Amino acid sequence: MTDPRSYFITRLFALPLMVAGAFAQGGPKAGPLAAEVYVVRSVPFAQTLSTVGTLRANESVTLVPEISRRLVKVHVTEGSEVAAGDLLFKLDDSDLVAELGEIDARLKLAESVKQRVANLLPRKAISQQEADSSNAAFDILNAGRNIKAVQISKTEIRAPFAGRVGVRQVSEGAFVTPATPLITLQDVSRIKVDFPLPERYSGEVGSGQKFTFTVAGNGQVFEGVVTVLEPAIDVATRSLLVRGLCSAPQGLQPGGFAEVTLTLDGLANGFLVPSQAIVPSARGQGVYLIEKGKAKLQPVEIGIRTDDRVQILRGVKEGDVVATTNLLRIRPGLEVTAGKSP
């Protein structure tokens, strides 16, 4: 006689197997997954390029002496504004001035000799050779005086352009040489913005084109204008150096980091799909194409991005249907119908 408890346990374990068998023999199946879709079309769009750049002063120089001398007088205050031609530093020129005085005395004598020779030569009281020698002596002394005057002028270090000086590096009494930095001078009335441009966009940017940029710690959006493009592409980076100019640089400092946004000339035609349609794939980026009611994971190459669209360079064609919702539930080969996702 069979134990009732043994019979009950046997039936309990057999029940799941019977249910599974029922489903295997044609039980109810899940219906197609509903998802919103987008039909791929070629549309014109403005290309916006984002890159990074460096702020530079309109003009910048580190002042150094041209000759080795002792610094006798500092005429500039650190951090002050100076005008072009202002005297900033004075070097010792006492020996040069003394030598110039000697040359002037000899030059005066040579000039009087030259005048006497000019009076005697027509009367043949002296030879032509003597006259030529006196004239040459005068010219040599005059040239020597000009050289000495140039040397004296180099003891005065003046501002080559208007701007703001920085921190002074030397003090009065120091012996300076052409390798000694004295002070920096920068014109920050306008700011230059240097930024790289990818090679493929080199033909779509020109002089006079406007751009915007921001800097860290400053919420203001600044405007600039492209002034020059480097005529050659950098071999290492395959990019083109572009320089722009900002005419209203309030609060900007040379050397700063800038995030540049540039709208390229003209409109481009291309495939744009909603940003949410892009899904990661084993080979990079992909989209789910809906073909004959089934999903297919299609690898794509993407280009630029707008606020809500992504450019597809390769992988789709005109008229393709792309899923934009329920992407986490879609799998390759799954049946999908166009409609609102639950």
Q: Does the pLDDT at position 229 exceed 70? A: yes
Q: What is the CATH number of domain 33-45+269-338?
A: 2.40.420.20
Among residues 40, 38, 82, 41, the alpha carbon closest in space to that of 63 is found at 82
Residue 202: both structure tokens together:
């080199």
Nearest to 212 by CA among 203, 225, 199: 225
The mean pLDDT value of the chain amounts to 86
pLDDT at 294 over 60: yes
213-240: average pLDDT? 92
State how far the Cα of 322 lies from the Cα of 275, in Å rounded to an integer.
Answer: 11
Among the listed residues 60, 48, 328, 321, the one whose alpha carbon sits nearest the alpha carbon of residue 209 = 48
Whether 14 has a pLDDT exceeding 70, the answer reads no
Question: What's the whole-number mean pLDDT along residues 203-212?
Answer: 90
Q: What is the pLDDT of residue 20?
A: 41
Which CATH code of 1.10.10, 1.10.287, 1.20.120, 1.10.472 fits the domain covering 93-154? 1.10.287
**Which of these CATH numbers, 3.30.56.10, 3.20.20.70, 2.40.50.100, 4.10.520.10, describes 67-91+155-181?**
2.40.50.100
Read off the pLDDT band of 307 (50, 70, 90). confident
pLDDT confidence band for 140 (50 / 70 / 90): very high
Both tokens of 99, joined, read 């030598």
* The residue to which tokens 């002042």 are assigned: 63
Quote the pLDDT of residue 17. 41
Does residue 341 have a pLDDT over 90? no
**pLDDT > 80? residue 9:** no
* 49-59+187-267 maps to CATH 3.40.50.720: no
Q: Where are the domains of the chain?
A: 33-45+269-338, 49-59+187-267, 67-91+155-181, 93-154
d(CA 11, CA 199): 74
Rounded to 10 degrees, what is the CA torsion of 87, 91, 95, 96? -40
User: Which 3 state secondary structure label does DSSP give 30?
Assistant: coil
Range 275-281 average pLDDT: 87
Span of 67-76, 184-193, 265-274, 302-311 with lowest mean pLDDT: 265-274
More confident call, 59 vs 339 = 59
User: In this predicted structure, what is the pLDDT of residue 218?
Assistant: 86
**Mean predicted confidence (pLDDT) in 65-88:** 96
**161 vs 184: CA distance, rounded Å:** 12
Name the nearest CA neighbour of 273 among 225, 327, 207, 342. 327
State residue 266's pLDDT score: 61
Who's near 63: CB < 8 A, 6+ residues apart? 88, 89, 157, 181, 182, 183, 184, 185
The 3-state DSSP class for residue 46 equals strand
DSSP 122: G
Q: Compute CA distances 231 → 199, 241, 244, whole Å.
A: 12, 9, 15
Asked if the domains 33-45+269-338 and 49-59+187-267 are classified in one and the same CATH topology, the answer is: no
pLDDT of residue 303: 78
**pLDDT at res. 3:** 52
User: Above pLDDT 90, what percent of the chain?
Assistant: 59
Of the candidates 341, 342, 309, 290, which has an alpha carbon nearest to the alpha carbon of residue 36? Answer: 341
3-state class (DSSP) for residue 291? strand
Residue 196 CA to residue 191 CA, distance in Å, equals 17
* 26-71 per-position pLDDT tens digit: 444 557 888 999 999 888 777 778 899 999 999 999 999 999 999 9
CA angle 292, 293, 297 (to 5 degrees): 90
